[in-house]
Structure 1
Amino acid sequence: MKKDNRKNAFEVYNEVSDWFAENRDRGLIEKPYLDQVIALLNRNARILDLGCGTGQPILDYLTRQNLNVTGVDASQKILNLARKNFPSTVFIQADMRQLSLGNKFDAIIAWHSFFHLPGEDQPAMFKVFSNHLQPNGILLFTSGTEHGEAWGLIGGEKLFHASLSTKEYTQLLTNHNFTLLNHQVNDPNCGNATIWMAKYTPDNQHKDPKIG
């Protein structure tokens, strides 16, 4: 095992990129939530897949719905695989904590990626999310269920995870003008993931939810 990468979990993905590509579940258990997001978007919507990995299976599914998807990941080796898988897709190597693309999207998906950040780095991400979303844009992310840290194993390497509490995430969403649309805790049909879906409503604007 390599050193503990608490601050930069993406470095672990550089170590295990080939293993991850071979072993990442492609069963798309995320589909019900992706479909909920898609239902709120127009067909020309632009989606930011934040922590896109190799693009399998989420980015693949979104592009097959004729959506315009941009993939962002901090791991260079993971992105090399993603570019091979999807040569016509725009991929950007960036640490999500420093993300400043100068573009706004109709949805941001941070599925099993945001929760690799240390807890102290997570609150600032909600400003990053809002800076990259159109009004009424949709945010979808996963988290833990309580404030704390945990280590798992991936390809024989230790992998860091962290979460804030439900109360903290709820307050962060409110403080950054997000309206909660869906919150599922430990969904047994989705690998026991805890899912958040929210709409960005700056200045309490209430517009037609069909965006893009």
Structure 2
Amino acid sequence: MTSDAADRIVNLYDRHAKTWNRERSRSLFEAPWLNRFLELVPPGGAILDIGCGSGEPIAGFFIRAGYRLHGIDSSPAMIALCKSHFPNDAWGVADMRTLSIGRKFNGLIAWDSFFHLRRVDQRRMFTIFRDHAASNAALMFTSGDSDGVAIGTYAGEPLYHASLAPHEYRALLDENGFDVVAHVFDDPNTGGHSIWLARLK
């Protein structure tokens, strides 16, 4: 069941992309953290949104603030929505686990996307983050608060989430050249998100 749920993530979001886009809050409860992230990114800098969904509201927040946005998602239907919302920005269908864009970014964000990967794949992502990070690049992602797997639901179907232990995230960040700038568990201002903000050394 757990393995099946992990394998079905992309298909789940692809089939329900329009519903997800319609239901996704545009309240920008994430804004305090997005602004904190932008404090580490030069004005007009290039941002890589990894698992960008439909492009709203997070990619749109950066675009409207004047940043150059490159969004990737495994779901073709989500990327089609991104292109309809923001036709002048760069979007691509890609699996974050094998991402190789061939350029570096001033900021990388994986909000509510990275935690859908199996733990073994999460560990491998840190070299991908590093390979796409320009000097002093900011990195922000959401995780769980302890090592393990949790199965939620979306549209009545199993929705896979996984997390490493906090000490392992810290070790992986350090091994790949990132310093932790801020970290919070179960932030009540973001609906209980656990958030990591780091910067390439």
TM-score under structure 1 length normalisation: 0.91
The equivalent residue for 1:204 is: none
Q: Report sequence identity in percent.
A: 39
Q: Counterparts of 2:40 and 2:148 in 1: how far apart (Å)?
A: 32
> How far is the alpha carbon of 1:109 from its aligned partner?
0.4
3-state SS in 2 of match to 1:5: helix
Aligned partner of 2:141: which letter? F
Does the C-alpha gap of structure 1 residues 177 and 8 become closer, same or farther in structure 2, counting only changes over 3 Å?
farther
**Pairwise mapping of residues 1-212 of structure 1 onto structure 2 (< 5 A)?**
4-201=4-201
3-state SS in 1 of match to 2:4: coil
Q: Counterparts of 2:152 and 2:195 in 1: how far apart (Å)?
A: 19
Q: Counterparts of 1:194 and 1:151 in 2: how far apart (Å)?
A: 17
Contact kept, 8 Å, 1:20 with 1:155, in 2: the verdict is: no
Greater helix share, structure number: 2
Q: Counterparts of 2:163 and 2:37 in 1: how far apart (Å)?
A: 23
Contact kept, 8 Å, 1:8 with 1:117, in 2: the verdict is: no
- 5+ residue gaps, structure 1, are 202-212
Deviating beyond 4 angstroms after TM superposition, the runs of 4 or more aligned structure 1 residues are none
Q: Counterparts of 2:36 and 2:165 in 1: how far apart (Å)?
A: 24
Contact kept, 8 Å, 1:19 with 1:155, in 2: the verdict is: no
TM-score under structure 2 length normalisation: 0.96
The aligned length equals 199
Q: Counterparts of 2:159 and 2:96 in 1: how far apart (Å)?
A: 17
Query: CA RMSD for the aligned pairs?
Result: 1.2
> How far is the alpha carbon of 1:26 from its aligned partner?
1.1
Contact kept, 8 Å, 2:147 with 2:164, in 1: the verdict is: yes
Does the C-alpha gap of structure 1 residues 53 and 142 become closer, same or farther in structure 2, counting only changes over 3 Å?
same
> How far is the alpha carbon of 1:18 from its aligned partner?
1.4
Contact kept, 8 Å, 1:5 with 1:12, in 2: the verdict is: no
Q: Which structure is richer in relative contact order (CA contacts within 8 A, separation 6 or more)?
A: 1
Q: Counterparts of 1:172 and 1:39 in 2: how far apart (Å)?
A: 23
Aligned partner of 2:53: which letter? G
Contact kept, 8 Å, 2:50 with 2:96, in 1: the verdict is: yes
